[in-house]
Amino acid sequence: MIADLLPAPVAVAETYGDEAVPLYPEEQALMADAVETRRREFTTVRACARRAMADLGHAPHPVPSSPRGAPRWPPGLTGSMTHCSGYRAAALARTTDLAAVGIDAEPHAPLPGDVLDAVRLPSERARLGYLTTRHPAVHWDQLLFSAKESVYKAWFSLTGEPLDFADADIEFHLAPGTAPRGGFRAAALVRGPLVGGRRLTHFAGRWAVGRGLVTTAVTVPHT
């Protein structure tokens, strides 16, 4: 799923079930009081991260979390992880190849109304209404949520600061063909970081729907 949305420099490992791998002590400490479901998610997505590291020729390394829950990657790597019911994935790239990566997966189902109200901008409301009329088989509200999550992860990787849902205005487009997939552009409505000597003003991403999931991915090049 997500592997199809990312360019060649990115190593992606994904799974549709849980995997048992030993955790490093700093990872194990984060799960000391976790319920079993959370422990399985945490462990499996780190198994994915270890496989992605190996694909890049990088030795296995612990992936602890920041206080906000963001993964802390070893020096020289940037990446993102996601997990939802029935799916886990990690995407990694060398920092010499990309400045940031953000991925997200969500169940392909309607987004609860209160969540949608917190996520959607007035400009996005109009665009999603048009897309829903033209392509009702896609849950565009859930896709919007997922795209903003991917943008948030890439933003946080670059800045170490949160990005509110209202701080990115997303516009989707459909790719030719029968499969529901395409791209999106997320305009940053707040001052972005400098990347490669230039101020970041927007993010470019891709999306797809399949296997009961909506998946989104964002990459930030150095130039």
Question: Using an 8 Å Cβ cutoff, are 89 and 104 in contact?
Answer: no
What is the reported pLDDT for 113?
87
Q: How far apart are CA 110 and CA 151, in angstroms?
A: 20
- With tokens 């400045």, the residue in question is 99
Count of CA atoms in the C-beta half-sphere (13 A) of 18: 11
The string of DSSP letters for 104-128 reads EEEESSPPPHHHHHHH--HHHHHHH
Integer Rg of the chain from CA: 17
Q: Residues with Cβ < 8 Å from 1, sequence gap 6 or more?
A: 14, 87, 89, 105, 208, 210, 211, 213, 215
Summarize pLDDT for 48-88 with one digit per residue, the tens.
999 999 999 999 999 999 888 899 999 999 999 999 999 99
pTM above 0.85, yes or no: yes
What is the reported pLDDT for 87?
96
What is the reported pLDDT for 6?
98
Summarize pLDDT for 22-32 with one digit per residue, the tens.
999 999 999 99
What is the reported pLDDT for 1?
86
Q: How many CB atoms lie within 10 A of CB 6?
A: 21
Of 191, 123, 199, 184, give the one whose Cα is nearest residue 148: 184
DSSP-derived pairing of the beta strands 194-195 and 198-199: antiparallel
Summarize pLDDT for 114-167 with one digit per residue, the tens.
999 999 999 999 999 999 999 999 999 999 999 999 999 999 999 999 999 999
Looking at the chain, the number of H-run helices and the number of E-run strands are: 5, 10
Rounded mean pLDDT, 184-205: 96
Q: How far apart are CA 69 and CA 41, in angstroms?
A: 13
What is the reported pLDDT for 69?
85
What is the reported pLDDT for 20?
83
The string of DSSP letters for 189-209 reads SSPPPEETTEE--EEEEEEEE
Q: How far apart are CA 204 and CA 183, in angstroms?
A: 8
